[in-house]
Each structure stands twice: as structure tokens, then as C-alpha cells.
Amino acid sequence: MPSFSHDPLSPKDAADVVIVGVAARGLAAAARRAGLRALVLDLFGDDDTRELALAAIPLRRIGAFAIDPADLYEQLAIHAGPDIPVVLGTGFEHQPEVVERLAARFRLVGNGPPTLAWTKEPLMLARLLHNLGIPHPQVFADHAPAGMRTLEKRIGGSGGWHVKPASESRGWGWYLQEELQGRTVSALFLGNGHKARLLAFSEQWCEPSEDAPYRYGGAAGPIRLDPSIEASIASALDAVVNAAGIVGLASADLMLTGDGWSLIEINPRPGASLDVFDHEPLPPLLRLHFEACRGELPDLALLTPEAAGMVRGAGVFYAPFSFEMRLDPLPDWVADRPPQGTRIETGEPICTLFAAGRDVREVRDTLARRRDQLWRDLSMASRKAAE
């Protein structure tokens, strides 16, 4: 972590951007690549986040992985002025009132409450997509119609842990979505409030656990889709950006169903695909985010595997058993590095693993091998430390 003892400026005065999220290492890395000095507030305070940031401030959590809004307001009041740009990552979509309060006091660079409502309120989004003629699964507030298989989801949920087969929703804050059969891909795009620039497609996969069959596993890309599907997704994104006023980096989760596609979710913020795409030949994505929020879209073609030179992947490694972090050093393909001594419970994310290869299959094989190797080393180091 950098020391400020010789720096006459406090981190607050020296920072170019404040980044807030449940886990903000990806955005911290994006800030570094964009040449911006970042003050980072997140729940984990991982070692690499601290190295990437000018300063990393731990936030208090409520429940499993939610930011305590009261603590966030307090920390931001101490660490961020009204003029410094604030970029939000994951963790705010289920609480638009928090974003509203932040927007009133700070210079948010990203989507505000009206756009969050259009994209994250399932019934509003379904109506918008219907009006625009964009294919999407049907959604229901409480019951599934007879004969239709549905998934229950939490409004504004992320990380897939909240998605389960169900024919009745548990009530306020939850909804049902028609279950589709197909392959899940994600489109990374920029919006300027009127038009979209489709940047790249990635393949996404789940890492099911006993009680979370759709828990997020990872993503790899770039991948190509059928050219006619790519074109129809690009024009659908233009229409959605214009109708919902989306600005900045965002992603759309899609299912490829037989010979068509369907839009299942919009994430109106920079997300996990930064790990996959914030590399050459794309320019620094956080810079593009700032420009798009000012209305400027870059003149970039859809990223192809040929132009990227490789397929990159990032997978979340969830703890098979509880253990204490005692392995030092960690391999260089590990990100979100928990500080030494951190206790990690069964099923919690330990870290993110990176791999690259010729195609998604090769990337996923390497990720699986690395996970097994790392687990052996982590559990051995943890056992040794306990002796």
C-alpha cells in the first residue's frame, strides 16, 4: 500500500476518482490503466485493491455481501468532496434510494435513479423491451401461469446467487421470470444516453452450489456470434440506451435460444467483464466510461478474437471448505487477493482466477486446473499455520 508520509496532499485531495462497490478491485485496476488515481471503498480491502488504489477504505457490510448505506455516507463525507467523480460498481441496483442520495451530494459518473428504474425494475424493463420489439422472457410479480417454468429472482440482485426455479415469488423485492433454454452470453457496451456502442461479447458460466444453481462462475471472451444475431443485438442496444437513457459502460446478459436470442438482464454499470476486456487492443475502458457519460462514443469495431490475439477468462473461486488465508505469495494469475490471516467460510468467494487461451474451452480448462492447484496449496498452508 502506498505511504502518504511524504505527500503534502491527503488521499482525498490527490485522488482523481472515487470508486465504490461490493468488490471494487476490477474498477481499481481500470482506474490504474486509465491513468487515474483512485480512492477505493469496498467490502473486501483485498491486497491487490490496496496496491492499485491511492487509498482503500473498508466499508461495513450488512448481511452476507451488502454495503451498509449509513457507513457509506459517512465514509464518503470524510473521503470525497462534491467535485470528485464517483463511479459505482456492483451493489447498488437493489437500492436506488441510496444512489439517489449519493447523486444529490456527489458527482456520480454513471447512471442515476431514472435509468436504474428502467433497467432494474423487472416489470418496467419488460414493458420497455416489449414496446421496442426486443425479445425477452416474460416476467410476473407473484405467480407463474400454469405450464410455464419460471425462475425466481431478486430485484436488483447480482452474482446469480438469488436465481432459483420457483413458480411463486416470495413477495416484495422478488419476481418471476420465464425460464429459457440456451447459452448465456454477455454484451459489453457503452451508452451516451441516445446511442450504444457494442464493444464485445463474452461467454458466461455458472458455478452452481447446493442452494444456488445459477451462482456466477466466470466469463471469457471475446467470442463471436452469428453476424445477423450480432447486428440485431447491436440495434436493440441502441434502442434500449435511447429509451432508458443509459450512459457509460454497461452490459446486457443474453440467452442464445435455438436460432434466436433473448435479453434477460441489463447491468447499467461497469462489471465483471472489465477483467476480460480492459486490455489491449481496447483503450482504457474507464476512460471510455467517462467520455460516454459526457456524450462521446468511440469509433470502435466489435472486438474479435483475432484482434484481441487471445481469449481471456476470469473465474470466481468459491471456498470448498472454510480455511484461513496463509499462502504467501499467491500465483500471479490470482486477483482479489485476501490479506493474510483472512478467515474464509465454505461457499464464500476466495479470489478471482485469470487465464488466457485460444478459445473459451481452453480458458475454462486452465481455470479449472489452476483452481485445483491453488486449493491444494491454500489448504496445505492453512493446515501448516494451524499446527
d(CA 305, CA 283): 16
| Cβ-contact 254, 237 below 8 angstroms | no
Among 180, 263, 316, 327, binds ligand ADP (CB under 6 A): 180
| Cβ-contact 116, 136 below 8 angstroms | no
Closest distance to ligand ADP from the beta carbon of 202 (Å) = 11
| Cβ-contact 159, 94 below 8 angstroms | no
- Side-chain half-sphere CA neighbours of 371 within 13 A: 21
With CB under 6 A as the rule, give the number of residues binding ligand ADP.
Answer: 21
| Residue 179 binds ligand ADP, judged by CB under 6 A | yes
Of residues 153 and 312, the one with the C-beta less far from ligand ADP = 153
Q: Which stretch in 10-18, 67-75, 153-161, 329-337 sits in contact with ligand ADP by CB under 6 A? A: 153-161
How many helices (H) and strands (E) would you count in the chain?
Answer: 12, 21
Q: Which stretch in 53-61, 62-70, 176-184, 304-312 sits in contact with ligand ADP by CB under 6 A? A: 176-184
Closest distance to ligand ADP from the beta carbon of 160 (Å) = 4
Closest distance to ligand ADP from the beta carbon of 141 (Å) = 16
| Residue 92 binds ligand ADP, judged by CB under 6 A | no
Q: Is-cis flag, bond preceding 8, omega within 30?
A: no
Of residues 154 and 194, the one with the C-beta less far from Mg ion = 154
| Residue 265 binds ligand ADP, judged by CB under 6 A | yes
CB proximity list for 196: less than 8 A, separation 6 or greater: 189, 190, 234, 237, 238, 240, 241, 246, 297
Residues of 300-338 as b/e, b for ≥16 C-beta within 10 angstroms? eebbebeebebbbbbbbbbbeeebbbbbeebeebbbbbb
| Residue 121 binds ligand ADP, judged by CB under 6 A | no
Side chain identity at 301, as an amino acid letter?
A
Q: Which stretch in 149-157, 219-227, 234-242, 290-298 sits in contact with ligand ADP by CB under 6 A? A: 149-157
| Cβ-contact 118, 242 below 8 angstroms | no
Contacts of 112-117 with C-beta under 8 Å, sequence gap 24+, read 114/245, 115/244, 115/245, 115/246, 115/247, 115/268, 116/92, 116/268
Of residues 32 and 164, the one with the C-beta less far from ligand ADP = 164
- Would you tell me the crossing angle of helices 113-120 and 96-105 to the nearest 10 degrees? 160
The entry of ligand ADP, Mg ion, none near residue 151 (CB within 5 to 8 angstroms by kind) is ligand ADP
| Residue 202 binds ligand ADP, judged by CB under 6 A | no
Q: Quick count: other Cβ atoms within 10 Å of Cβ 133?
A: 8
Q: What is the DSSP letter of 375?
A: H
| Residue 204 binds ligand ADP, judged by CB under 6 A | yes
Closest distance to ligand ADP from the beta carbon of 345 (Å) = 20
CB proximity list for 11: less than 8 A, separation 6 or greater: 4, 39, 54, 55, 79
Closest distance to ligand ADP from the beta carbon of 161 (Å) = 7
| Residue 160 binds ligand ADP, judged by CB under 6 A | yes
The entry of Mg ion, ligand ADP, none near residue 159 (CB within 5 to 8 angstroms by kind) is ligand ADP
| Residue 203 binds ligand ADP, judged by CB under 6 A | no
- Would you tell me the crossing angle of helices 122-132 and 227-244 to the nearest 10 degrees? 120
The entry of Mg ion, ligand ADP, none near residue 204 (CB within 5 to 8 angstroms by kind) is ligand ADP
Among 159, 248, 315, 338, binds ligand ADP (CB under 6 A): 159
| Residue 89 binds ligand ADP, judged by CB under 6 A | no
| Residue 206 binds ligand ADP, judged by CB under 6 A | yes
d(CA 83, CA 163): 38
| Cβ-contact 338, 351 below 8 angstroms | yes
The entry of ligand ADP, Mg ion, none near residue 75 (CB within 5 to 8 angstroms by kind) is none
Binding mask 211-250 for ligand ADP (x = CB under 6 A): ---x-x----------------------------------
Catalog residues that contact ligand ADP under the rule CB under 6 A. 137, 151, 153, 157-160, 163, 177-180, 184, 204, 206, 214, 216, 253, 255, 264-265
